[in-house]
Chain A
Amino acid sequence: SQQGEEDPQALSIQEGENATMNCSYKTSINNLQWYRQNSGRGLVHLILIRSNEREKHSGRLRVTLDTSKKSSSLLITASRAADTASYFCATDALGGSNYKLTFGKGTLLTVNP
């Protein structure tokens, strides 16, 4: 099963509004990343937050991480139509010899002009 699960599956907002997406995961992690994917195209890395960090900012993006709840949120402020895309969280489980990123199924964000 997926390590990360995004919530909601789909989100539709108006331009200028803020968008919040959540991610929950199951096992302890080294770090958590958020990626963006425009329809049918490759994923683009947005931000990485380490397990010992609680909050991180990058431009209009704000990511929080709560390791006690095994959850993260991605906030996009002042959204634009160009932000329309799918957003995925990805985790790299702590320990073990089989290092791999595990992606959730994503949140489809639609920003209406």
Chain B
Amino acid sequence: DSGVTQTPKHLITATGQRVTLRCSPRSGDLSVYWYQQSLDQGLQFLIQYYNGEERAKGNILERFSAQQFPDLHSELNLSSLELGDSALYFCASSPGRLSRGEQFFGPGTRLTVL
């Protein structure tokens, strides 16, 4: 158990809908990272927040947004969903603001868009 929690575990929704994925980092970790894993694209970095502020951006679509709250939990919002958004979404956390060290991954949310 990494100490990172993600909810829900599974999410099934329809095209055009909007969903919110939630992540609680390990106790004491200030950075939260979001990743998308699909068969064709592999594991892609989406975005990083550090202590409430956006720190780094990766291949995140404009339809996706994220935020980190004062209690350090984070939410990833996916809107106008398309079939191709079906994937595993992982949250990871680390103590510091730089991504160079070990990251601790949550169990993931499996999103299925029908």
Interface of A, secondary structure class, is strand
Q: Mark A44-63, 1 if CB is under 8 A from B, else 0.
A: 11001000000000000000
Which residues of A sit under 8 angstroms from B70, Cβ to Cβ? none
Contact A101 B103 (CB under 8 A): yes
The docked-state distance in angstroms from the alpha carbon of A92 to that of B98 is: 10
The docked-state distance in angstroms from the alpha carbon of A42 to that of B90 is: 7
Q: Mark B1-14, 1 if CB is under 8 A from A, else 0.
A: 01010000000000
Interface residues on A, range: 20 to 34
A2, A42, A105: the one contacting B2 at CB < 8 Å is A42
Contact B45 A101 (CB under 8 A): yes
Taking beta carbons and an 8 Å cutoff, which residues of A are in contact with B? Answer: 2, 30-31, 33, 35, 40-45, 48, 88, 92, 98-106
Q: Which residue of A lies closest to B88 (CB)?
A: A40
Listed residue (B43, B90, B110) with the most chain A CB atoms within 10 angstroms of its CB: B43
Q: Mark B75-111, 1 if CB is under 8 A from A, else 0.
A: 0000000000000101010000011111111111010
Contact A40 B42 (CB under 8 A): no
Q: Which residue of A lies closest to B45 (CB)?
A: A100
The docked-state distance in angstroms from the alpha carbon of A31 to that of B98 is: 12
The docked-state distance in angstroms from the alpha carbon of A99 to that of B45 is: 11
B39 to chain A, nearest CB (A): 10
Contact A45 B108 (CB under 8 A): no
The docked-state distance in angstroms from the alpha carbon of A98 to that of B98 is: 10
Q: Which residue of B lies closest to A48 (CB)?
A: B102
Contact B58 A100 (CB under 8 A): yes
Contact B45 A48 (CB under 8 A): no
Which residues of B sit under 8 angstroms from A100, Cβ to Cβ? 45, 48, 56, 58, 99
